[in-house]
Amino acid sequence: MSKRRLTQNQQRRIQSNHHKKISKKEVEWQDDMLGEVQQGVVVTRHAKHADVETEQGEIYRCNLRRTLKNVVVGDQVSWRLGNEQLQGISGVIEAIYPRKNELSRPDYYDGIKVMASNIDQIIIVSAVLPTLSLNIIDRYLVICEAANIPALIVLNKVDLLSEEERQAVKKQLAIYEKIGYETLMLSADTGENMEALHAYLRQGTSIFVGQSGVGKSSLINQLLPENNALTGAVSDVSGLGQHTTTASRLYHLPLGGNLIDSPGIREFGLWHLEPNQITDGYREFQSVLGTCKFRDCKHGSDPGCAIREAVEKGEIDPIRFENYHRLIESRNESKSQRHFRTEDL
Ligand SMILES: Nc1nc2c(ncn2[C@@H]2O[C@H](COP(=O)(O)OP(=O)(O)OP(=O)(O)O)[C@@H](O)[C@H]2O)c(=O)[nH]1
Ligand SMILES: [Mg+2]
Ligand SMILES: [Zn+2]
């Protein structure tokens, strides 16, 4: 071997230094490479980058300053445009303005994961296929109540129902109407009730939440007829080859208002909330709460439980009461699971 030829080890070292240089260059913008500080809104959050939209509607992919903890869709940020693109990145986000509110969900690894910020309305999307789950609607409602953000419940894929089945799901939705939530029956396939949905979305920023496959992205495609770039990678969770959304993204609707599409969650517990926050998430419990015989009433078989009595009198729906206990139980289970997982790491 000629002396001038590099050994494999040397070659590897050079290559790895080369990589280091690239990634260093990527994160370390020199001050004189960056323009004036501007304001913008985060419209998509990727693993390492975020897309920022200017007031003029231009979108730039940005790095995040390492000191920034968690940048999410909906964040108002200050950022600076670079004088050239580095590795496809146009600028850098320097700071996040204080958030009006944030929508969070529990996350096994990070504790609580903020999904989006500065939200005016949460649209809980459920569907009749695979099945309509009131338990999942209740979970989301507890999160909405805890964040103090108004909720709208929509039921998609009603095109799949017979007349008889329609009447049955109407009755289920009536449980929520009775306690003051508005509901809509929709079909992204036939366009049923899309005008009514449009009307709800015309102001402020709304977010679609709901399990994977309920049709959130399909509904957005209906609302934005020209936009067909919504489907993400092929789902590796189900292996069924459906397209699943992998990053939240904010869209501007033609009739006004913004709408965020979010990736579906398969299952989530509510261990990040205290039991009393779950109880507070049931709005129809509030007027009788505090009148139970015992102050530490668990609202189960405890004697003199005012909530159970209200259920017996037909004032509180028994399905909601049952779901409440399931939520409390699953909270405790997922909490202990989490402890196991954290210790495991
Ligand atoms: N029959 C019927 N099928 C629908 C309707 N809306 C959506 N679908 C189908 O449901 C499947 C899932 O739709 P998506 O829009 O990808 O669901 P998603 O909620 O965005 O799912 P994630 O991105 O994984 O969270 C697709 O095969 C759609 O064609 C509808 O109104 N009726
Ligand atoms: Mg989707
Ligand atoms: Zn009680």
**Spatial contact of 122 and 151, defined as CB atoms under 8 Å apart:** yes
Give the pLDDT of residue 345: 26
Q: Is 215 in the pocket of ligand 1 (CB under 6 A)?
A: yes
Residue 81 has pLDDT above 60, yes or no: yes
User: At residue 52, does pLDDT exceed 80?
Assistant: yes
**Residue 223 corresponds to which tokens in the numbers above?**
């609302």
Binding site membership of 218 for ligand 1 (Cβ less than 6 Å): yes
Task: Write b or e for each residue in 128-163: b if 16 or more Cβ atoms lie within 10 A of its Cβ, otherwise e.
Answer: beeebebebbbbbbbbbbbeebebbbbbbbbeebee
Q: How far is the CA of 218 from the centre of ligand 2 (A)?
A: 7
Could you list the residues known to form a binding site for GTP, using ranges.
Answer: 156-159, 210-218
Q: How far is the CA of 297 from the centre of ligand 3 (A)?
A: 5
- Quote the ligand 1 centre to 127 CA distance (angstroms): 9
% of the chain at pLDDT higher than 70: 82
Measured from the alpha carbon of residue 235, the closest ligand is 1
pLDDT tens-digit map of 110-147: 678 899 999 999 999 999 988 899 999 999 999 999 99
* C-beta separation of 337 from 343 below 8 A: no
Distance of CA 215 from the midpoint of ligand 1 (Å): 3
249 close to ligand 1 (CB < 6 Angstrom): no
Which residue lies with its CA nearest to atom 1 of ligand 1? Answer: 157
Q: Which residues contact 341 (CB under 8 A, 6 or more apart)?
A: 108
Q: Is the pLDDT of residue 2 over 60?
A: no
Which of 22-36, 61-75, 104-118, 254-268 is most confident?
A: 61-75
Angle between helices 216-223 and 194-201 (to 10 degrees): 90
- Residue 150 CA to ligand 3 center (angstroms) comes to 26
Tell me if 110 sits within 8 A of 118, measured CB to CB: no
* Cα angle for residues 178, 296, 306 (degrees, 5° grid): 35
**CA-to-CA distance for 75 and 119, rounded, in angstroms?**
10
Q: Answer yes or no: is pLDDT of 236 > 60.
A: no
Cβ proximity of 89 and 97 under 8 Å: no
Rounded CA gap, 69 and 47, in Å? 13
Given a cut of 90, is residue 161 above it in pLDDT?
Answer: yes
pLDDT at 313: 97
pLDDT reported for residue 335: 60
Q: How high is the pLDDT of residue 69? A: 80
Give residue 113's identity as a one-letter amino acid code: K
CB distance 242 to ligand 1 below 6 Å: yes
How far is the C-alpha of 207 from the C-alpha of 210, rounded, in Å? 10
pLDDT of amino acid 226: 72
Is it the case that residue 343 has pLDDT exceeding 90?
no
> Distance from CA of residue 286 to its chain's centroid?
26
Written as one letter, the residue type at 313 is K
| Mean pLDDT confidence for 138-162 | 96
Q: Would you call 296 exposed, middle or buried from its count of C-beta atoms within 10 A (0-12, 13-18, 19+)? A: exposed
Which residue, by CA, sits nearest to atom 6 of ligand 1? 215
Q: What is the pLDDT of residue 8?
A: 64
Mutate to test the pocket of ligand 1, among 131, 136, 161, 218 (most ligand atoms within 8 A of CB): 218
Nearest atom within ligand 1 for CA of residue 156: 31
pLDDT of residue 15: 56
Separation between Cα atoms, residue 28 and residue 66, nearest integer Å:
10
Which residue's CA is minimally distant from atom 27 of ligand 1? 242
Cα 178-180-181 angle, rounded to 5 deg: 105
Distance between Cα 150 and ligand 1 center (Å):
24
Alpha-carbon span 218 to 187, nearest angstrom: 9
- pLDDT tens profile 180-199: 999 999 999 999 999 999 99
Residue identifier of the C-alpha nearest atom 14 of ligand 1 = 215
Q: Are 189 and 241 in contact (CB under 8 A)?
A: no
**231 Cα nearest atom in ligand 1:** 16
Determine if the pTM surpasses 0.75. yes
pLDDT at site 56: 93
pLDDT (tens digit per residue) in 293-309: 999 999 998 899 999 99
Ligand found nearest the CA of 190: 1
Higher pLDDT, 343 or 8: 8
57, 48 in Cβ contact below 8 A? no
